[in-house]
Structure 1
Amino acid sequence: MSHTRQVCVVVLCGLPASGKTSLCSKLINLETFSFVHVCYDSLLPWIKHNDGPVTWKTARSDAIGMVRHYLQCITHENLSSYDTEILKQDVCQYIHTKVSQSMLDSKPIVFLIDDNMQYRGMRYEFYQLAKSECCGFCICFLDCPLCVCEERNKKRPLEKQVQYKSLLAINSQMEVPGSTNVLWEKQVLNIDTSKSVLQPEGTTSFLQSALENPIQDVVTVDPLFAESCRQTNLINIRHQADLILRKICKDMIQSSDFLNELTIKCKSRHITEAKKRTLTEIKSDLFDTNAYVRKNGTINMVTLEDKLRLLMSAYIHEG
């Protein structure tokens, strides 16, 4: 797929209050490029992690789908609206308008993806998107100490402040771009935002380089990243399995017709032992984690829960 004009996807990465949105605001004023600002805080402000993994992942997936849609609109020079029931409608309309305006002039188009992007896998999704659409791709990492971000966060309006425990969590989760030998994550601009006032002009040559070197859709396998994905899926499945087992155990203990000949104390002991044996099997090499990971890398929660219920029932009846 080829573009008649230069297009680039820029992923901004950094802690909350590190200056990502401020940088975007200054970049947009530059006349060198035509910018489309995709701000996750505005696009899905109501989404919280405690809404559940399905809601959170679905919303983020929808945001990527919207960017893909508009990249394809630019490629085919045929603009259409993106249908969504999850993302905030007025922000979607703003993005649609910005894409429409960008398509009317001849400037290179730069999509600014404004989010924490602490996990390498989050950034990789946009790399894959840029590759599939033959766009440029790069990462701007806003390097700012946790203590500085904490002080800035306190100065925000209350409704825009990030909870301190969330700030700590994101800091601990941060996989710094370019810190490993991952082949695809080489186009990284580190910006120290701890003290100095942001100077967007310094990013112009960096963005121009990414625009002039679009990612070619050539099938390559990065063994380091493949192993990283495998380990991440393994950890995620074990974590999700533990959460599902807690729910299953609660359902079993509260059930009046399950093992009803046992006392509550005896029933709980049997269920707890079955849970331990189930978790041991999940952690063993005999448990095929690949059977519960879809081709797109997400976990098939329904299939996993069905398997766990079967294992629990089998171990309880054995015991």
Structure 2
Amino acid sequence: MKMGEDVRGAHSEGPQKLVLCVLCGLPAAGKSTFARALRHQLQQELGWAVGVVAYDDVMPEAVLEKASGAGPRPEFRSPSQWKLLRQELLKYLEHFLLAVINGCQMSAPASRTEAMWKDFITCLKDQDLIPSAPVEAQSLYPLTKTAVSRPLLLILDDNFYYQSMRYEIYQLARKYSLGFCQLFLDCALETCLQRNAERPRPLPAETIHQMGNKIEKPNPEKNAWEHHSLAIQSPACASEARLKLTDLLITALENPIKYVEENLEQKETDRLICSTNILHQADQTLRRIVSQTMKEAKDEQMLPHNLKLLAEELNKLKAEFLEDLRQGNKKYLCFQQTIDVSDVISFFHYEKDNIVRKYFSKQH
């Protein structure tokens, strides 16, 4: 397959190219080792940005045990809690993807498991996708040049033993018209059991047997959405398999999933998430303006009754501005690349001054 310059590295003019890659297989099949090698290969040979999100690292046992009250590997003891945590991690991924797609800062979800969110942020920092500078109580995260200047492959490393688990990733890719593919590490059960026994903290052999019985391998012939899938024999990856793998990834990159269904409600949700950074800046600034204005009114000895009415009007004005910002109703709130919060602030000052003059005229 012939590769264009934009595929090889330098980011072409146009929307950011993104691929979600599901890496699945039994425990101890060699997924994490394979993901690290693939990341190095793609960075060196194609110049891509590659991020590996290993579920075991982002959802460590301490988080899982706390959430479920279970012992080691509670996904088999508390499936409902495990599913909720997986869905929460998907929401984290969505926030990151939206920031990359729209070229804005990544916002922290309002509702999150702090330990898991911290590990997710650490994962992105360690791979130079967001800056590593520590910021206490940070709610907005800028992206690095690495994340936005070249094709980006996100490898999601987990067992994904049920088809439904992988389909959730496919739906996320379809939602934003991203590339999607699946890599299944086909490792013999006996080999996985042997490797697992050699680990410092092995899983119960019964757990791996159970997963071996449950696992639903990608089936491109049956499911059209699994068309871009490749089974790889572990641990070795022959040169022919490497060529197939590279071809699969490039094909996924160049052929994002087309999502033609109109979903206005979802578009509204996406816009709100992307505009969180603007809302945050505006909210903080408008709060300071209202507070300073009330202080000045008190210093000018405005009557208590008028002070109360002024505070009510200013807070109402602030709420209206923030709602307009959320809804994009005003001309200057059109959520384009050129949006400037200073325009919002300037207009707020204008409206605020009109209200203040009205109350000061009542004083005389």
Band the TM-score falls in, shorter-chain normalisation: 0.5 to 0.7
Name the structure 2 match of 1:92.
120
Deviations 1:155-176 (CA, angstroms, capped at 9, x unpaired): 1112xx2221110111111111
Q: Where does residue 4 of structure 1 map in the other structure?
A: 15
SS of the aligned residue for 2:167 comes to helix
Q: Report SS of the residue matched to 2:52.
A: strand
**CA shift in 2, pair 1:174/1:53, >3 Å:** closer
> Does 2:101 correspond to 1:75?
yes
Q: Using the alignment, how far apart are the partners of 2:199 and 2:249 within structure 1?
A: 29
Segment of structure 1 superposing worse, 101-110 or 41-50: 101-110
**Aligned mates of 2:15, 2:162 — CA distance in 1:** 32
| Displacement of 1:205 | 2.2
Contact 1:81 1:96 in 2 (8 A): no
Unaligned runs of 5+ in 2: 1-13, 65-73, 132-142, 263-364
Q: 1:55-90 CA distances to partner (integer Å, 9 max, x unpaired)?
A: 211101011111111111111101224342155344
Aligned to 2:78: 52
The C-alpha deviation readout for 1:119-149, integer Å capped at 9, x for no partner, is: 0100000000000011000000100110011
* Runs of 4+ deviating beyond 3 Å: 197-202
Q: Deviations over 1:85-111 (max 9, x none)?
A: 155344212233243377513221011
Q: Which amino acid aligns with 1:95?
A: C
Letter in 2 for 1:59: L
1:22 aligned onto 2:27: no
Tell me, in whole angstroms, the C-alpha distance in 1 between the residues paired with 2:57 and 2:238: 22
* Change beyond 3 A, Cα 1:17–1:216: same
Equivalenced residues, count = 215
- Change in Cα spacing, 1:54 to 1:174, as seen in structure 2 (3 Å) is closer
The DSSP-based 3-state class of the residue aligned with 1:217 is coil
Q: Aligned residue for 2:224?
A: 183
| Secondary structure of the structure 1 residue equivalent to 2:226 | coil
Shift of 1:52: 2.6
Q: Which amino acid aligns with 1:13?
A: C
Q: Distance in 1 between matches of 2:253 and 2:238?
A: 22
Return 210-219 or 107-116, whichever deviates more: 210-219
> 2: distance between equivalents of 1:50 and 1:151?
21
- Distance of 1:23 and 1:171 partners within structure 2: 20
The answer as to 2:108 corresponding to 1:65 is no
Which structure has the bigger radius of gyration?
2
AA aligned to 1:23 is: F
Q: Work out whether residues 18 and 253 of structure 2, in 8 Å CA contact, stay in contact via their aligned partners in 1.
A: yes
Query: Given residue 39 of structure 1, which amino acid in structure 2 is its aligned partner?
Result: A
Q: Name the residue aligned to 1:148.
A: 191
The one-letter amino acid paired with 1:7 is L
List aligned pairs for 1:206-285, cutoff 5 A. Answer: 206-219=248-261
State the TM-score, normalizing by the size of structure 1.
Answer: 0.62
